């Protein structure tokens, strides 16, 4: 809502802005307080009576003329009343002001010589007429959008080639901008229609637009099953590897939607081409939205043990480690989740052990971002240090691990984290003399 501005006097001496009194509707419109250029305000042409409170709630995001705003609450007035000073307020707000023991006008701070309040029916009519106009216009736009979505669905059943691409582009714009259009498409068989456009002979132009629409819609379990057909998934993977950045993100999000659920079969995401495409998207630091979308999908893929070996085999571990210093907290948590999952495999642990920057990078993240990140980092370090205690534990301690573990133990972290830290600290201490290990535990290392 707009901030309240100090009122100014109209030519007749009445307040015409900032919540002041408006005695003449025609003058108010002509003076431009509605921003309507002097047009006439009409009431609802259909005679239908609308609830003012509901209209105000549904039109909350639009700019509202300052004359409609109560100077106390800075919200549109639904029951405007005027004081003897000529200032107008929402009835409930001014009554609350009086109940607090104030006998002044809140705007002018003048003492009131008359404590009566007068309903401002002219201003109410002005408010009601303005909101009705805006509400009807909004409803008309919404109905137009739904009608256009239906027209485009019918068009898609008839056209091919470039005409089909053009219809899909327009439907995508409509669906992206209007929730009512999304519901219209879903309720009228749009998901099945768009799904039927995806197949082995679909051009990337058609596939990209169809996927751009589907990713904005809600699916039934049957619709998901239909979209999981190998030919359709294969097209999504091809487009993920070859499309524009927006198309790659849409493909990634759609595949994430399709594999989210208990009925998902991991064979769908076992394709090396898919994994390579997702990892390539994650590594493209020019597009943060793509990095996030790729990591979200990679996390979901790695939740299935049968696919983890394939993820390790494409070199995901060292590539994710290289990204760690550049990631924001949300992406960092996802990347550490993936690395922890891959560490459950001997091949994953070995890949981390053989990555020179892995242990120092992960030690650095302890107690730095969030408790979840600390949890993942501890699990990763535990897996690697157990794999090769003499080599990895020494490297971790040299990177400042001992001091970080002491911080975790002394902090208010989850008891499970404290226990894991104590176990890891004990494991690391086995490779040092007592004196040397104690020197490695100095907290100054952590501060550095």
Are 65 and 33 in contact by the 8 Å Cβ rule? The answer is: yes
CA atoms within 13 A on the CB side of 341: 23
Comparing 1-15, 76-90, 94-108, 420-434, the range with the smallest average pLDDT is 1-15
Please provide residue 73's backbone torsions phi and psi, each rounded to the nearest 5 degrees.
-95, -15
Q: Helix, strand or coil for residue 20?
A: strand
Q: For tokens 């327009």, name the residue.
A: 170
The DSSP code sequence of 70-106 is -TTT-SB-SSEEE-TTSBEEEHHHHHHHHHTT--B-T
Confidence class for position 62, pLDDT limits 50, 70, 90: confident
Q: Which two tokens stand for residue 282?
A: 């994650």
Q: Helix, strand or coil for residue 379?
A: helix
Alpha-carbon distance of 385 to 396, in angstroms, equals 8
What residues contact residue 137 under an 8 Å CB cut-off, 6+ apart?
A: none
Confidence class for position 2, pLDDT limits 50, 70, 90: very low
pLDDT of residue 193: 96
Span 119-141, mean pLDDT? Answer: 85
Does residue 442 surpass a pLDDT of 70?
no
**404-429: pLDDT as tens digits:** 888 888 887 788 888 888 888 888 77
Q: Please report which helix (H) or strand (E) contains residue 295, including its range.
A: helix 288-302
Q: Which two tokens stand for residue 315?
A: 């070199």
Alpha-carbon distance of 294 to 288, in angstroms, equals 10
Confidence class for position 264, pLDDT limits 50, 70, 90: low
Alpha-carbon distance of 83 to 119, in angstroms, equals 9
Does residue 376 surpass a pLDDT of 90?
yes
Span 119-130, mean pLDDT? Answer: 90
DSSP 90: E
Does residue 183 surpass a pLDDT of 60?
yes
Are 331 and 287 in contact by the 8 Å Cβ rule? The answer is: no
Alpha-carbon distance of 301 to 285, in angstroms, equals 21
Domains and CATH numbers, the chain: 25-138 (3.30.40.10), 157-251 (1.20.930)
Confidence class for position 91, pLDDT limits 50, 70, 90: very high
Does residue 390 surpass a pLDDT of 90?
no
The DSSP code sequence of 172-240 is HHHHHH-HHHHHHHHHTTHHHHHHHT-STT--HHHHHHHHHHHTTS---HHHHHHHTSHHHHHHHHHHH
What residues contact residue 409 under an 8 Å CB cut-off, 6+ apart?
A: 418, 421, 422, 425
Q: Which has the closest alpha carbon to 28: 118, 88, 104?
A: 88
Q: What are residue 76's DSSP bridge partners?
A: 69
Q: Which two tokens stand for residue 411?
A: 């902090």
Span 214-222, mean pLDDT? Answer: 92
Q: Which has the closest alpha carbon to 197: 164, 169, 171, 175?
A: 164
Confidence class for position 298, pLDDT limits 50, 70, 90: very high
Span 33-53, mean pLDDT? Answer: 53
pLDDT of residue 439: 61
pLDDT of residue 90: 93
Does residue 4 surpass a pLDDT of 60?
no
Span 272-296, mean pLDDT? Answer: 93
Q: Please report which helix (H) or strand (E) contains residue 318, including its range.
A: helix 316-323
Span 335-346, mean pLDDT? Answer: 95
Confidence class for position 314, pLDDT limits 50, 70, 90: very high
């Amino acid at each position: 809502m707009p901030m309240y501005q100090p009122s100014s006097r109209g030519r007749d001496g009445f307040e015409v802005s900032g919540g002041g009194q408006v005695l003449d509707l025609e003058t108010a419109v002509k003076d431009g307080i509605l921003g309507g250029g002097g047009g006439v305000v009409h009431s609802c042409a259909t005679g239908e009576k609308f609830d003012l409170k509901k209209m105000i709630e549904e039109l909350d995001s639009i700019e509202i003329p300052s004359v409609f705003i109560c100077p106390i609450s800075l919200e549109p007035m639904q029951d405007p009343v005027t004081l003897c000073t000529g200032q107008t307020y929402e009835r409930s707000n001014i009554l609350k002001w009086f109940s607090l023991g104030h006998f002044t006008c809140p705007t002018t701070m003048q003492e009131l010589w008359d404590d009566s309040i007068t309903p401002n029916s002219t201003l109410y009519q002005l408010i009601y007429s303005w909101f009705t106009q805006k509400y009807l216009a909004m409803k008309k736009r919404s109905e137009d959008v739904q009608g256009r979505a239906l027209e485009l669905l019918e068009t898609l059943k008839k056209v091919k080639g470039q005409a089909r691409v053009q219809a899909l582009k327009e439907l995508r714009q409509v669906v992206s901008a209007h929730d009512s259009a999304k519901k219209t498409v879903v309720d009228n068989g749009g998901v099945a229609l768009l799904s039927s456009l995806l197949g082995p002979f679909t051009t990337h132009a058609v596939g990209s637009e169809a996927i751009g629409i589907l990713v904005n819609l809600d699916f039934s379990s049957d619709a998901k099953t239909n979209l999981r057909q190998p030919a359709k998934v294969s097209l999504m993977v091809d487009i993920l590897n070859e499309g524009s950045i927006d198309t790659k993100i849409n493909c990634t999000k759609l595949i994430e939607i399709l594999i989210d659920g208990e009925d998902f079969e991991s064979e769908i995401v076992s394709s090396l081409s898919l994994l390579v495409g997702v990892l390539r998207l994650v590594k493209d630091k020019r597009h943060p939205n793509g990095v996030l979308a790729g990591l979200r999908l990679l996390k979901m893929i790695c939740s299935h043990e049968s696919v983890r070996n394939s993820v390790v085999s494409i070199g995901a571990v060292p590539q994710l480690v290289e990204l760690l210093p550049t990631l924001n907290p949300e992406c960092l948590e996802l990347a550490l989740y993936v690395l922890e999952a891959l560490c459950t495999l001997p091949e994953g642990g070995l890949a981390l052990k053989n990555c020179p920057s892995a242990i120092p990078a992960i030690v650095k993240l302890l107690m730095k971002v969030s408790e979840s990140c600390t949890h993942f980092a501890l699990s990763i370090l535990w897996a690697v240090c157990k794999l090769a205690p003499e080599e990895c534990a020494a490297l971790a301690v040299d990177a400042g691990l001992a001091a970080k573990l002491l911080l975790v133990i002394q902090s208010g972290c989850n008891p499970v984290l404290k226990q894991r830290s104590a176990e890891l600290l004990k494991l690391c201490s086995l490779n040092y003399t007592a004196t040397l290990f104690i020197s490695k535990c100095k907290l100054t290392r952590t501060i550095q």
